[in-house]
């Protein structure tokens, strides 16, 4: 398993956020967020509801354009004002949403292949082959002809992951990918994400799955009121008696889970 030390941090980070800020409706949502994400790294955003995790992830691929700061992919600043630049950038940054957002009118195979055909301009046949390979990778080859309405939540999220992977993204952004799932379906999705992490996929993920984070995250970023207030490896931040906000938050999260079960 990869540990923080094993990541090569030399050279340019694959994704760099420089002083990202965002104000929505007069309210400061994000202020002065900076981070470097190196190749193969998994960064996990943690924090209370409303901390700005989701907004930050959507700022990274300009679904919500940031008001301040720059985003660099492999050293190049993204010029979001130029449509062609923006579309090309988004193709390289995969995004997984909390509520899946599959295309309701397409079966699983076409959910994965449509961007290959329409955005990448691949032939129908080549796109279908690639889509099938991605569905196999997430264990859903036998569900290729089913529509979103016929899939379970966990299956939908795995199709969504296959859809993002088919574009060969350099970075994946995951916005609480298991939060909308029934507890018994969380495992199958986390297993897919774990395989990605082990395969060296670069990821930024908002998550409250602490066991998963502890095992796989290279760095935890604790957000509150639009700022990153703590950052460090799971070992540093979650050590018993470390007295960090992160450890405090996570222990309360764990208590809550125990009460529920």
Partner 1 sequence: MFDVDFLVDRVFPQLNAGLWMSVKLIVPSAVFGLLFGVIIGIVRVFGKPWMQRVANAYTALFRGVPLLVQLFILYFGLPNIGIYLEPYAASVLGFILCSAAYNSEYVRGALLSIRQGQLSAAQALGFSTMQTLVSIVVPQAVRRALPGCGNEVVYLIKYSSLAYVITCIELTGEAKVLASRTFRFTEVFLVVGAYYLFLVTVASWLLHKVEERFHIPGFGRPRQ
Minimum separation from the CB atom of position 99 to partner 1 (A): 6
Binding partner 1 (rule: CB under 8 A), the pick from 13, 148, 154, 177 is 148
C-beta closer to partner 1: residue 65 or 200: 65
Our finding on whether 152 is near partner 1 (CB under 8 A) is: no
Minimum separation from the CB atom of position 193 to partner 1 (A): 17
Our finding on whether 164 is near partner 1 (CB under 8 A) is: yes
Our finding on whether 179 is near partner 1 (CB under 8 A) is: no
- Which string of x and - marks every residue 43-62 that binds partner 1 (by CB under 8 A)? ---------------x--x-
C-beta closer to partner 1: residue 113 or 213: 113
Interatomic CA distance for residues 105 and 99, integer angstroms: 16
CA angle 119, 122, 124 (to 5 degrees): 115
Answer whether 112's CB lies under 8 Å from 94's CB. Answer: no
Binding partner 1 (rule: CB under 8 A), the pick from 163, 170, 208, 218 is 163
- Report the site for partner 1 in 82-141 (rule: CB under 8 A): 83, 87-88, 90-91, 93-95, 97, 99-105, 114-115, 118-119
Q: What is the DSSP letter of 143?
A: G
- The footprint of partner 1 on this chain (CB under 8 A) covers a number of residues equal to 32
Interatomic CA distance for residues 107 and 41, integer angstroms: 32
Residue 103, helix vs strand vs coil: coil
Tell me how many helices (H) and strands (E) the chain has.
9, 10
Our finding on whether 66 is near partner 1 (CB under 8 A) is: no
Using CA atoms, how far residue 33 sits from 36, 39, 46, 176, 187, in Å, is 10, 19, 14, 19, 31
Interatomic CA distance for residues 167 and 13, integer angstroms: 21
Our finding on whether 144 is near partner 1 (CB under 8 A) is: no
Which are the contacts of 207, defined by CB distance < 8 A and separation ≥ 6? Answer: 44, 45, 46, 174, 176, 177, 178, 213
Our finding on whether 81 is near partner 1 (CB under 8 A) is: no
Residues that bind partner 1 (CB under 8 A): 58, 61, 63, 83, 87-88, 90-91, 93-95, 97, 99-105, 114-115, 118-119, 146-150, 160, 163-164, 167
């Amino acid at each position: 398993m990869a540990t923080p030390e094993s990541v090569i941090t030399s050279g340019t980070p694959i994704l760099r956020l420089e002083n990202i800020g965002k104000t929505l409706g007069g309210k400061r949502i994000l202020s002065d967020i900076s981070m470097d994400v190196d190749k193969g790294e998994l960064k996990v955003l943690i924090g209370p509801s409303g901390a700005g995790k989701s907004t930050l992830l959507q700022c990274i691929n300009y679904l919500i354009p940031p008001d301040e700061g720059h985003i660099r992919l492999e050293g190049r600043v993204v010029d979001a004002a130029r449509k062609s630049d923006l579309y090309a950038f988004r193709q390289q940054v995969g995004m997984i949403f909390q509520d899946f957002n599959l295309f309701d009118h397409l079966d699983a195979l076409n959910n994965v292949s449509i961007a290959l055909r329409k955005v990448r301009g691949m032939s129908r046949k080549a796109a279908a082959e690639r889509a099938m390979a991605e569905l196999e990778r997430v264990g859903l080859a036998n569900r290729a002809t089913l529509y979103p309405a016929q899939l379970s939540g966990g299956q939908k999220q795995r199709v969504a992951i296959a859809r993002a992977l088919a574009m060969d993204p350099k970075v994946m952004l995951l916005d609480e990918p298991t939060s909308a799932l029934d507890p018994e379906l969380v495992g199958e999705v986390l297993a897919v994400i774990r395989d990605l992490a082990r395969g060296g996929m670069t990821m930024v993920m908002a998550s409250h799955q602490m066991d998963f984070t502890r095992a796989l995250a290279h760095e935890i970023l604790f957000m509150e009121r639009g700022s990153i207030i703590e950052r460090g490896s799971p070992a540093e931040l979650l050590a018993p008696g470390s007295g960090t906000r992160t450890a405090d938050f996570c222990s309360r999260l764990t208590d809550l889970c125990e009460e529920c079960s």
